[in-house]
A and B are shown apart, each in its own frame.
Chain A
Amino acid sequence: MTHRPPSAFLEFVVRFARNRGAVLGAVIIVLVIALALAAPWLIDKNPLRIVSRPEVWPFTNPRFPLGTDSIGRNIFAMIAYGARTTLMIGIVAALTATAIGVVIGAAAAWFGGWIDDVLTRITELFQTVPNILLIMTVVAILGQKIDNITVAIGITMWPGIARLTRAEFLTLKNREFVLACRSMGMSNIRIMAGEILPNAIPPVIVLASVIIGSSILFESAIAFLGLGDPNVASWGALIGDGRTLIRRSWYICAIPGLAIMLTVLAMNLIGDGLNDALNPKLRDR
């Protein structure tokens, strides 16, 4: 038993590394994280400051490698700081969604009966309502602040996790090892958290990594629509600001969009790799 954790981890790494796309995704994400962390040292502290004349094209001035936007802000600075916003919101929202989804899914599967019925109905309800509408409404009601946006995304993204967790728990619930724990008199919470959850979690992790990508897309859409936090740099907001200038300076829209696409792409690739590494039975498809 003592040998298992390291060798299992090694096996996980080997399987993950076998998927070339996943490795590429991981490299991209590491670069984005590095950019986000290094932002305050790379460029000035406030990315929303006007630093130059507007509409400087990329690669023309070494001080502004990606040019400046419609009012003369440094696009590279906004991309770097935007990476912080994007990653923060993506990861925290996905964690929130996963936490809510796991609790609801696990409770539904474990208790069954009317609790299952009610929770499943609520899950369906959240699945029916278009995510973006709900996020817009929640943000409008709570106010356009970054933590509100994160919460809003988090509370709309959990149904998928809940359904998956419920299905996993249902299959695991009647396995011998769970029955054994029950007969030993273990408490519900201990069996669920200590025995079933570790077995149910791998597919949930895969889905959560994809939800990070979707959350990033939703954040950018919200910011693009003008419902974002006006006090932080956001890739989506930058695209929204650049829209008026697509005839002359289309790069203002193009650059942040590429950043979003690359980051989401990387998260999805990592999701594929995690799927290969964590669910070996599904490999070789």
Chain B
Amino acid sequence: MKRSIVRRLFQIISLIIGVIVMNFTLIQMAPGSLLDIMTSEQQVTDPATLEHLRHLYGLDQSPLVQLLRYTWSVFTFDLGYSYRQNAPVFDIIMAQLPSTLLLMLTSLGVAVTLGMIAGVVASVKVNKVWDVVISLAAVFFFAAPTFWLGIMLIIFFAVQLDWLPVGGMTTIGEQFGPVGHVIDVLRHLILPALSLGLFYAAIYTRVMRASMLEVFSLDFVRTARAKGLSKTRVILAHVFRNALLPVVTLLGLQLGTVLGGSVVIEAVFSWPGIGSLMLDSVMSRNYPVVLGVFVLSAVVVAIANLLVDLAYYRLDPRIRSR
């Protein structure tokens, strides 16, 4: 186990370096230098100031040197400086991260819970009405664009029924106590988490159903029944427990895409997070922040994979003895 953690750490580092190299190359391909974009925004034309800025950002050096300097600084938690917000990129990202994590984790929670329940029900009632209903719902939610689903939920629950807020993370201009604040945030969280969660729930439903059906056909299920266990106990304690393994794998694979999905959903619900930051930075070609977000997403995915490894280690004894 220790060895696999060390291996993972090594992977995380190589992954971050890979992300940096990839994005540096991408940005080098951009028409116009970083300086042009920066200066056009702040309308600096004085050649001396330009030269000073060029030196300050290290743009007078070769791309390779820039790359090495940046890579080194990333490992000292320095992601550069954003001229747009006038703040270190690391601080800007860290300020936005919690709300994005909240949205991501809630969506994943919704997705995994719904997906597992629906998948188990569909597999138990295979080819019966409930299976058909669940599978159809999964097919639809898998094909619906998340941002569109979000807008439809807003139209129905926020505009027509006026049950939930249209967007944002808190009610502006209202003062709540601590409990009231939490409830307020939760009320704002429901629709975005559902929009994102239902898409992934559709995926987990399909995987869980297939996985359950596969395990149902294994011999030990028959043995468990032959012991005299009830059907419910066999399904929960034996089939479900084994069917969980592919779902956990998928969970690790998908964390990166969930982060991507929250970018779009944040735009729909004006959720103040990494997504809004990223969109703004891409539009304004604020590359230090863009690069920073990529590094961050690599770290998030790497940590998620580590957690999945640990979960797998707990769930599957066959891995443990290897």
Contacts and interface: CB of A to CB of B under 8 A. Distances in A.
A265 B19 contact: no
A236 B151 CA distance: 12
Interface stretch (A76-84, A171-179, A247-255): A247-255
Contacts of A140: 282-283, 285
A265 B143 contact: yes
Contacts of B15: 124-125, 128
Interface in A246-276: 246-247, 250, 253-254, 256-257, 260-262, 264-265, 268-269
Given A221-B145, A225-B267, A265-B139, A141 B29 contact: yes
B148 A261 contact: yes
B67 to A, nearest CB: 16
A194 to B, nearest CB: 33
Given A128-B19, A243-B151, A136 B282 contact: yes
B142 A268 contact: yes
Nearest to B214: A285
Interface in A104-143: 121-122, 124-125, 127-133, 136-138, 140-143
Contacts of B264: 132, 221, 224-225
B18 A133 contact: no
A227 B151 contact: no
Contacts of B27: 141
B46 to A, nearest CB: 28
Contacts of A236: 145
Nearest to A247: B159
Contacts of B155: 246, 250, 253-254
A213 interface: yes
B201 interface: no
Contacts of A265: 139-140, 143
A130 B279 contact: no
Interface residues of A, number: 45
A174 to B, nearest CB: 24
Say what secondary structure dominates the interface of chain B: helix
Given A141-B27, A246-B155, A253-B155, A130 B263 contact: yes
A269 B257 CA distance: 22
Contacts of B14: 121
Tell me whether chain A's interface is mostly helix, strand or loop, or mixed.
Answer: helix
Interface stretch (B242-250, B293-301, B311-319): B293-301
A252 to B, nearest CB: 10
Contacts of A136: 263, 278-279, 282
A247 B26 CA distance: 41
A129 B257 CA distance: 8
Given A129-B294, A133-B297, A213 B282 contact: no
Contact of B18 (A121, A143, A257): A121
Contacts of B200: none
Contact of B256 (A129, A217, A257): A129
A140 B301 CA distance: 24
Contact of B148 (A131, A260, A268): A260
Nearest to B258: A130
A128 B261 CA distance: 13
Interface string A133-170: 10011101111000000000000000000000000000
A220 interface: yes
B212 to A, nearest CB: 12
Nearest to B265: A221
A239 interface: yes
B147 interface: yes
Interface in A65-120: none
B240 to A, nearest CB: 19
A239 B154 CA distance: 13
A220 B145 contact: yes
Nearest to A263: B143
A131 B263 CA distance: 11
9 contacts: A137-B26, A137-B290, A138-B26, A239-B148, A257-B148, A257-B152, A260-B143, A265-B143, A268-B139
> Closest 9 interchain pairs by CB?
A130-B260, A257-B148, A265-B143, A132-B260, A264-B143, A125-B18, A141-B30, A140-B282, A250-B155
Given A128-B15, A260-B148, 4 more contacts: A225-B264, A243-B151, A253-B152, A265-B139
